[in-house]
Amino acid sequence: MHQTAIDFVVAKDIHLEGIFTKPNNSYKRFPTVVVCHPHPLLGGNMEHPLITTICRIAHRENIGSLRFNFRGVGRSEGVFSNGDQEQKDVKAALKISKLMPGTDVTRLALLGYSFGASIVLQGLHRYKDTKSLVLISPPIASVLKSRIIKDKRHKMFIVGQNDGVVSSIELQRVLDHIQHPVRFHEIQNAKHDFLGETEEVAERVVEFLLETLEVHSISPS
């Protein structure tokens, strides 16, 4: 994979680290997904197995990706703020992704996993340039407090059947009131960390991105 380590700036000169993965078939403009990792105080960062697997499968299907560390995580500067300032990090990540050579700025997606999903939900109004949203194991409280109910973008929610943090049943009830288009996938036997199920989750995510971002797949038939 063609991966580039990047450094980008948020307000007040806070530098964040990220990895931009560019498709091999990049002579054409390609869509890009910005990927937000789970809670850093629980070991979440841009190298989480689910995060890297999603980026790898996306690359296979000619989709660019930017994964990054929130402020105070890894070599990203600043102090972790438990969601108060991380929306600015996502906004900056989307901005830099648009500037990467080859990115089709009309075909951007935003993905958040757990804490990352919470940050995406909190700042929906800040990310209007995105065409598709993927929310993996989003905290129920964050879903209820957000503007997702009336959001008209393509949306996909994924949760593990045995997730001890996010109730699959409760999430499905909430989604009954959300404006379409919306998709829901329950990963059988999976817990919150999706250990052993990262490939299935990634395949589901990329299948959704291929359709909603109108990507011409280059994987073998």
User: Who contacts 118 (Cβ-Cβ below 8 Å, separation ≥6)?
Assistant: 83, 112, 138, 139, 142
Q: Give the type of residue at 146.
A: S
What value does the CA radius of gyration of the chain take, rounded to a whole number of Å? Answer: 16
Domains of the chain (ranges plus CATH)? Answer: 2-212 (3.40.50.1820)
What DSSP character marks residue 70? P
For residues 55-89, one letter each, b for 16 or more C-beta atoms within 10 angstroms of the residue's C-beta and e for the rest, the string is: bbbbbbbbbbbbbbbbbbbeebbbebeeeebbbbb
pLDDT tens sequence for the chain (221 residues): 789 999 999 987 899 999 999 998 756 899 999 999 999 999 999 999 999 999 999 999 999 999 999 999 999 999 999 888 999 999 999 999 999 999 999 999 999 999 999 999 999 999 999 999 999 999 999 999 999 989 999 999 999 999 999 999 999 999 998 888 899 999 999 999 999 999 999 999 999 999 999 875 544 33
pLDDT at 21: 97
DSSP letter for each residue of 11-48: GGGEEEEEEEEE-S-TTS-EEEEEEE---GGGT--TT-
Residue 46: how many CB atoms within 10 A of its CB? 23
Strand positions, DSSP E, the chain: 2-10, 14-22, 30-36, 64-68, 103-113, 132-136, 154-160, 182-187
Q: Round to whole Å and give the CA distance between 142 and 153.
A: 18
Tell the burial category of 165 from Cβ atoms under 10 Å away from its Cβ (0-12, 13-18, 19+).
middle
Q: Round to whole Å and give the CA distance between 198 and 70.
A: 21
Q: Is 64 helix (H, G, I), strand (E, B) or coil?
A: strand
pLDDT at 26: 59
